[in-house]
Amino acid sequence: MGMAASQARLLTITARLADNELKSQTINNAKMRLATQSSQASENYINALNNATMKFVNYDETGETINQALTFNALSAYSSYNTQYGLVNSSGQILVNESEAKLFQAANGNLNAYLESHGLVYGTTYFDELGAQTNNDYPSPFNYISVEDMEIYYQGYQSYENSVEVQAYEDSYSDYTSTYNSLVDVGQDAMKKYLTGGTPTVSFTNSGSVQISNINGYDTWNMADNYKTNVTNRLADLVSKKFISESDRDLYMEKINSLEKKYNYDSATGNYIKVVNIYDNLDITSEDIVDGDGNITGKNYYFDADGNNKNIIIVDNNNIVQSHALLNTSDTTYSGDRDGITLAEFFQNLKRTDKDLDDNGNVTASYTKSFIYDAANNELKSCYSVKDLTELRNYLTELMENMIEGIINNAQYENFAKWIKTLNPYEINSRFGTELGATIISKVNAYTDAKDDFLGGIFKDTTQVESDLNDGQYTYTYVDDNGATQTETVQMSAKNLTDVDYVLTYMKRKGLEQSEKYNTILKEYLISNMIDINGEPKYAWIDVNDTANTGNAESKAQWFTNLFKRMQQGYKALENGLASSKEWIEFALESGIVSMEQVDKSFNWKSLDYKTCTRITEETDDAAVAKAEAEYTRAMNDIKAKDNIYDLQLKNIDTEHTTLQTELDVVKEVIKKNVDRTMKFNQSA
């Protein structure tokens, strides 16, 4: 009976211990679930703290700051205030949005076409402001040049400057200039030979007459007899050959005529009398005679006005001598009637001997001075006979030298060359000598060839030009503002034809056409002239889409030029949805799917770690963090309360377990003892 009870008790205790173990395991599992819940609550809270949004700071086209969520579109948006960034995939291709990819493809590798697709045109308002160029003095098509044509000419300006046509023109002009200068040099020698036969000399006869010798064709030009006649004939010969112009001829004749104003030839004595105006030497002064009513009734003439002599002549308004007071000395003589004669008659026989004295009063020279009344000009003049002809010789020599120098300096050497071409070598050598003649032929031929080449590069037909050059001038008619027909003569030489404005005007007036080669010269001239007057055109980028000019077209052009060149190295179109997604770019950057590049100051693309980009920032959602914190606190409080309960339950189970274990040990001991007694009993029996 005792054995059975102990075994029953043992089973009960064992069952309770097993039950406690199960409860303990269940509670521990529950505590583990609390730990998991705690970890989840912590993770949710941490995620809220870590869930910061990437922001990107850039500027709009007005310079206003924009703080927005980081997306591809935000990162790559253009503004002249923005730094240029790009995203590059693992293949090194720059990412662009779909529309940008289409524009690039349409440009087909042409940068200008690509920039134009963005509204960017490289141009200038210079030609619009300049306007069409109109010049009615020029022939068509150069009388009106449109704005578009002027810009086209300018764009080809450098090619014109370096063109074959311009080089040929410059070479032909250089040859013409060189041969022309050589022609002038030999022509001057020939002209001097033609004019003088040598060096002209001035000599005087024993009687005092003047002769100019060594004048070709006229061995002696005598001042007294035929000087003016012979000079006139020779100058007329030069005009007829068109070596000098009629205006030059008149200028030289004026110089010759000036000799008569300074010297009078006295055929009776063979001397030259120098004429000196009374106002130059003040030997004679005069004053009007005025009556009481203020009327001029005559004139008083005073001689030796310094007061040494009181020589007075009184004349009426008709220059009739009324009275006189002359000192009759050995220095002044007079013969003939004294009153009632004309002033000219009065002075006809009046002479005076002047003496030059040294410091001691000795006479060093004497000469006879006369007084002449010039009735034509109503002037009194004092004169004296020339004894020393040095001054006259110098005057005549200088006059002749100046005349010859003027002729050879101003001669029309185109006409000289033409005249030489009409002569055969024998005639040339006989006129100028064999050596000079050969040089003349050589220089004239070289000049003629160079001139023909030069003119042929300017005019389609040179016949009219040659004729006008030989004449040294051309005439044209025009209708003036009043409707009247006018004729004008213009001087012309080959040198004038180096002036493009002169050539164009000449062609219009004469109805001539330029050669094909000259068109390039004209365009080069027009642009060069335009630049000289208005300065160089200023080209810049123009954004046709920015009509208010609020942006920076230059910066925009550089931006898209940078992008174009980078796309040429490889690009990938990014879907529009991804281009506007902030989640995608954050994931792509953080996972390393893409990397960043930035354009430096030298417009080169350089790699950039997005974490070091100062424009990219992170912002936390404070409301989300506060909510997560509240949920975390509540969850942790709930977990803590449950954990405390589970701890108390485990403590109770542990206490019960200890009690049951002690009781189990006692029962086991009782059973053991019962078993031992039973075994002994059986053995005893």
pLDDT in tens, 284-317: 677 889 988 889 999 887 765 454 555 677 888 8
Distance, in Å, from the CA atom of 536 to the CA atom of 396, rounded to the nearest integer, reads: 57
Which tokens is 235 given?
Answer: 């100058």
Looking at residues 657-681, what average pLDDT do you find? Answer: 71
pLDDT in tens, 403-422: 778 777 878 888 888 888 88
Distance, in Å, from the CA atom of 17 to the CA atom of 293, rounded to the nearest integer, reads: 176
| Largest pairwise CA distance in the chain | 230
Distance, in Å, from the CA atom of 380 to the CA atom of 373, rounded to the nearest integer, reads: 4
Which tokens is 646 given?
Answer: 């589970």
Q: What is the pLDDT of residue 487?
A: 92
CA 529 to chain centroid, in Å, comes to 11
Give Cβ neighbours of residue 594 (< 8 Å, ≥ 6 apart): 87, 88, 89, 90, 95, 585, 588
pLDDT at residue 595 is higher than 90: yes
CB atoms near residue 619 (< 10 Å):
11
Q: Of 62, 63, 58, 52, nearest to 73 (Cα)?
A: 58
pLDDT at residue 179 is higher than 50: yes
Q: Are 217 and 200 in contact, with CB atoms under 8 Å apart?
A: no
Looking at residues 369-384, what average pLDDT do you find? Answer: 59
Higher pLDDT, 465 or 16: 465
Q: Are 475 and 487 in contact, with CB atoms under 8 Å apart?
A: yes
Higher pLDDT, 381 or 169: 169
How far, in Å, are 247, 296, 475 from residue 490 at the CA level?
Answer: 13, 53, 6
57 pLDDT band (50/70/90 cuts)? Answer: confident
Looking at residues 146-163, what average pLDDT do you find? Answer: 82
Q: What is the pLDDT of residue 371?
A: 60
Looking at residues 245-266, what average pLDDT do you find? Answer: 66
| Total number of residues shown for the chain | 685
Handedness of CA 430, 435, 436, 441 (dihedral sign): positive
281 pLDDT band (50/70/90 cuts)? Answer: very low
pLDDT at residue 279 is higher than 50: no
Q: What is the pLDDT of residue 532?
A: 86
Looking at residues 538-550, what average pLDDT do you find? Answer: 81
Looking at residues 30-53, what average pLDDT do you find? Answer: 64
pLDDT in tens, 131-143: 888 888 898 888 8
Higher pLDDT, 258 or 568: 568
Distance, in Å, from the CA atom of 538 to the CA atom of 125, rounded to the nearest integer, reads: 8
Q: What is the pLDDT of residue 442?
A: 94
Ordered alpha helix ranges (H), 306-374 = 343-348
Place of tokens 């087909």: 108
pLDDT in tens, 615-661: 888 776 556 666 766 676 776 676 677 767 766 776 777 777 777 77
Distance, in Å, from the CA atom of 610 to the CA atom of 591, rounded to the nearest integer, reads: 12
Distance, in Å, from the CA atom of 145 to the CA atom of 156, rounded to the nearest integer, reads: 15
Q: Are 101 and 616 in contact, with CB atoms under 8 Å apart?
A: no
- Sort 238 into a burial class: Cβ within 10 Å, 0-12 / 13-18 / 19+: buried
Handedness of CA 238, 242, 243, 247 (dihedral sign): positive
Q: What is the pLDDT of residue 398?
A: 74
Higher pLDDT, 487 or 622: 487
Q: What is the pLDDT of residue 25?
A: 75
CA 347 to chain centroid, in Å, comes to 75
pLDDT at residue 527 is higher than 70: yes
Work out the mean pLDDT of the chain and round it to a whole number.
76
Looking at residues 257-262, what average pLDDT do you find? Answer: 55
Place of tokens 């291709």: 93
Distance, in Å, from the CA atom of 199 to the CA atom of 401, rounded to the nearest integer, reads: 9
